[in-house]
Chain A
């Protein structure tokens, strides 16, 4: 069945350093890949997304890359700050298709060390 694997499950980086979270999906028809950030006690919120016709997208300190051939995509956070500490979820779906649901990865708990 459809599956999204996310690594690592926990990540600790020094403030100011970069963080990278990687996801692999199984459904080759997936064409929409959002990333969500969930702070403690709060709801998941979309931080960036990428469509399958784009290889990379950047928004200030965060960027996402997509390799369709290898079926994996990654989240990159540069110049990390304390407020980046949260759980991050990747997801994959077939956009605008009623035949598929969005599948989430298992999450990465990111901690930023001062």
Chain B
């Protein structure tokens, strides 16, 4: 099976802009989770989608949102970007056994 893919891999934006990141899970996986990874903060959970519904949510402001499509592909949107949003954004998909498989990540730089 093909692994989890994310696009784009790198992104540079300026403060105030918005950005949309995409994640395609492993075929057959219905759960997609998003994480923000920064050097000092480890893996911070953003949200999880399952069958097009947000099932869990982390402690991030409303500027961070997501959605999932009927084919399980998921998008994450960040509006009104701030310098502190610069990070590696990872998505992970899981099937019935709950093990999470991570994508390569999108490195977002906010200038």
- Residues of A at the B interface (CB closer than 8 Å) are 32, 34, 36, 42-46, 49, 89, 93, 95-96, 98, 100-107
Contacts and interface: CB of A to CB of B under 8 A. Distances in A.
18 contacts: A32-B98, A34-B99, A34-B100, A43-B90, A43-B102, A43-B103, A43-B104, A44-B43, A46-B99, A46-B100, A46-B101, A95-B98, A100-B56, A101-B33, A101-B56, A101-B58, A104-B45, A107-B42
Nearest to A97: B98
* Interface of B, helix, strand, loop or mixed by DSSP: strand
Interface in B57-111: 58, 90, 98-105
A96 B98 contact: yes
B32 to A, nearest CB: 12
A95 B58 CA distance: 18
